[in-house]
Chains A and B, each alone.
Chain A
Amino acid sequence: MIARPPRWAGHPVADVAGGHSHGTHGLYLHGHSPLHELAPECKIAAAVASVFAIVATPREQWWAFAAHALVLLVVIRIATIPTRLVARRLVFEVPFVAFAFFLPFIGQGDRVDLGVLSLSRDGLWAAWNILAKGSLGVSVSVVLASTTTMAELLRGLDRLRVPRPLVLIASFMVRYLDVIAGQMQRMKVARLSRGYDPRWIWQSKAWATSAGTMFIRSYERGERVHLAMLSRGYGGTMPDLFETRTDAGQWRRALSWPLVHALVTTAAWVAR
């Protein structure tokens, strides 16, 4: 007879510690496309500029959004990301655009009659605007995340002159997320092993105490990390590691992407 696995075995938290065995973050897709090879600072700048160009498109020019989408499809193809994967990751935006679906019902002004429904014209446009720009914007970030490792993203931000303490904080977070998740998981198993099985909010005292313990442990870990940094000659400022110059060609190639979006947006404004 096979014993029933413990309750926590299939719990999502149980997978946290050993979950990310490939790539450097869950969204990264290993590959060697031109987009993968591009310097991270160029890619980040290009992605942000593309989002701005898309967001600046006037909402009535629906053909411009089709053009943006087409450009993105080409970029996704160049990056060798499966289109289905991008579509699946677009689900991420659902909670954010959910409220857009209410706008046609609660909007003011002219009404459009659609069968039994009476919808606000302004509300429809607003919903379309949020949905179109949201989906395109998220697609851009999916492209960035799928082609750039976490270490590269951090290096890119550093080279874009994002204040170094902020980059360092972000890199500590990335580095120690798994360590802390592992610790939390072990504490959880230890709690469950002693018969703790909270079902109601007032039974959560042990959980809260563990959270406090985690805080203290993380604080102590921070002190030990700092000690180890001092031992390697850290003097309060992060040194430059591997300063490589990004050639103009990289920037030109990267910025041609937002440039196409900007042209589409300009055309949309002119045609208005």
Chain B
Amino acid sequence: MTAPALDVQGLAYRYPDGHQALFGVDLTVQPGERVALLGPNGAGKTTLVLHLNGILSGGLGSVTVDGLAVQKANVREVRRRVGIVFQDPDDQLFMPTVRQDVAFGPANLGVKGPELSERVERALAAVDMEDFADRPPHHLSFGQRRRVAVATVLAMEPTILVLDEPSSNLDPAARREFAEVVQRLALTTLMVTHDLPYALELCPRSVIMNEGRIVADGPTRDILSDDALMKANRLELPYGFDPTHW
């Protein structure tokens, strides 16, 4: 059996200011799976995400990415394997042009010359943004910027894609376009979201996190249909939305 794409075991973390954010998180994601990470604000979702590529560390437990333990010594390889797309594309895109921004990640890994250009082209094509390579990011629409943000991590050829609130601030058309991109990529994906219909559309499996623990893990449809579970974790479906008839 192959190693899981992501394996989190007993992860606990307390911030330096004393706030305990994670209380023993266990989560396994198999290669090719798309999993939604749901939960109210302050549940510890972002803290968990920042552990996946070793930005945060030092608590108890372990994180393994595709068989490789996340440690100081192999942090560079871990950051190649785990592609995090942050919520605000303006935080992710900081270079003068889209092309330079997409090249930033692979260049940090030592990729150079024609291979670098090729990776940039490929990554931009994967998100339908190849015609915007020489544009400055601040001249793109919000939806386009978010797709370019995905390209910046695709260029690093990650084994798992982590999307933080991918549908936030998108208009309905951009939201649908982004979903199409995610489906086409067919990468192992962990998607942090408050957008429950989006989770149902894109992720067959969901986990709920609350107060620093994973409190539910199962098929998205079952989770969204469990009223008691939803209520207990401050999760609410949009008015009129019925996951069983979707």
**Which chain B residues border A243 with CB–CB below 8 Å?**
112-113
Pick from A151, A228, A235: contact of B97, CB under 8 Å: A151
A231 to B53, Cβ gap below 8 A?
Answer: yes
A151 to B108, Cβ gap below 8 A?
Answer: no
B86 to A175, Cβ gap below 8 A?
Answer: no
B116 to A241, Cβ gap below 8 A?
Answer: yes
With A and B bound together, what is the CA distance between A48 and B103 in angstroms?
A: 30
Q: A20-B139, A151-B100, A224-B86 are in contact. Are A240 and B94 (CB under 8 A)?
A: no
Within the complex, the shortest CB–CB distance from A179 to chain B, in Å, comes to 5
**Which chain A residues border B136 with CB–CB below 8 Å?**
24, 150-151, 174-175
Given A179-B90, A233-B80, A240-B107, 11 other A-B residues pairs in contact with their CB atoms under 8 A: A20-B139, A150-B96, A176-B90, A221-B90, A225-B92, A227-B86, A229-B104, A233-B79, A234-B104, A239-B110, A241-B100
**Which chain B residues border A221 with CB–CB below 8 Å?**
90-91
Q: Is A171 close to B, CB under 8 A?
A: yes
Q: Is B95 close to A, CB under 8 A?
A: yes
Chain A residue with the shortest CB-CB distance to B108: A233
With A and B bound together, what is the CA distance between A239 and B116 in angstroms?
A: 12
A233 to B76, Cβ gap below 8 A?
Answer: yes
A151 to B103, Cβ gap below 8 A?
Answer: no
Q: Is A51 close to B, CB under 8 A?
A: no
A224 to B107, Cβ gap below 8 A?
Answer: no
Within the complex, the shortest CB–CB distance from B94 to chain A, in Å, comes to 5
Q: Is B166 close to A, CB under 8 A?
A: no
Top 8 nearest A-B pairs by Cβ distance?
A: A239-B107, A233-B108, A151-B96, A232-B105, A224-B91, A241-B103, A228-B92, A151-B97
Q: Is B157 close to A, CB under 8 A?
A: no
Within the complex, the shortest CB–CB distance from A167 to chain B, in Å, comes to 10
Most buried by B among A24, A224, A225, A228: A228
With A and B bound together, what is the CA distance between A154 and B96 in angstroms?
A: 8
Within the complex, the shortest CB–CB distance from B6 to chain A, in Å, comes to 15
**Which chain A residues border B97 with CB–CB below 8 Å?**
151
With A and B bound together, what is the CA distance between A174 and B237 in angstroms?
A: 41
Among A177-227, those with CB < 8 Å from B are 178-179, 221, 224-225, 227
Within the complex, the shortest CB–CB distance from A78 to chain B, in Å, comes to 23
Within the complex, the shortest CB–CB distance from B183 to chain A, in Å, comes to 24
A232 to B104, Cβ gap below 8 A?
Answer: yes
With A and B bound together, what is the CA distance between A150 and B107 in angstroms?
A: 22
With A and B bound together, what is the CA distance between A174 and B55 in angstroms?
A: 27
Pick from A228, A235, A239: contact of B91, CB under 8 Å: A228
List 6 interface pairs A-B (beta carbons < 8 Å), by A numbering. Answer: A171-B94, A221-B90, A224-B88, A225-B92, A232-B104, A242-B117
**Which chain B residues border A228 with CB–CB below 8 Å?**
84, 86, 91-92, 94
**Which chain A residues border B103 with CB–CB below 8 Å?**
241-242
**Which chain B residues border A224 with CB–CB below 8 Å?**
86, 88, 91
**Which chain A residues border B196 with CB–CB below 8 Å?**
none
Pick from A21, A171, A227, A235: contact of B95, CB under 8 Å: A171
A232 to B94, Cβ gap below 8 A?
Answer: no
Q: Is B152 close to A, CB under 8 A?
A: yes
Q: Is B156 close to A, CB under 8 A?
A: yes
Q: A24-B136, A241-B100 are in contact. Are A230 and B94 (CB under 8 A)?
A: no
Within the complex, the shortest CB–CB distance from A27 to chain B, in Å, comes to 14
Within the complex, the shortest CB–CB distance from B179 to chain A, in Å, comes to 23
With A and B bound together, what is the CA distance between A84 and B114 in angstroms?
A: 43
Chain A residue with the shortest CB-CB distance to B153: A232
A240 to B91, Cβ gap below 8 A?
Answer: no
B96 to A175, Cβ gap below 8 A?
Answer: yes
Q: Is A172 close to B, CB under 8 A?
A: yes
A232 to B86, Cβ gap below 8 A?
Answer: no
**Which chain A residues border B88 with CB–CB below 8 Å?**
224
**Which chain B residues border A242 with CB–CB below 8 Å?**
99-100, 103, 116-117
With A and B bound together, what is the CA distance between A231 and B92 in angstroms?
A: 10
Interface flags for B94-129 (1: CB within 8 Å of A; 0: not) read: 111101100111011110110011000000000000
A240 to B76, Cβ gap below 8 A?
Answer: no
A175 to B95, Cβ gap below 8 A?
Answer: yes
A175 to B105, Cβ gap below 8 A?
Answer: no
Chain B residue with the shortest CB-CB distance to A178: B138
A225 to B53, Cβ gap below 8 A?
Answer: no
**Which chain A residues border B92 with CB–CB below 8 Å?**
225, 228
B79 to A231, Cβ gap below 8 A?
Answer: yes
A175 to B107, Cβ gap below 8 A?
Answer: no
Q: Is B137 close to A, CB under 8 A?
A: yes
B156 to A233, Cβ gap below 8 A?
Answer: yes
Chain B residue with the shortest CB-CB distance to A235: B108
Within the complex, the shortest CB–CB distance from B139 to chain A, in Å, comes to 7
**Which chain A residues border B117 with CB–CB below 8 Å?**
242
Chain A residue with the shortest CB-CB distance to B79: A233
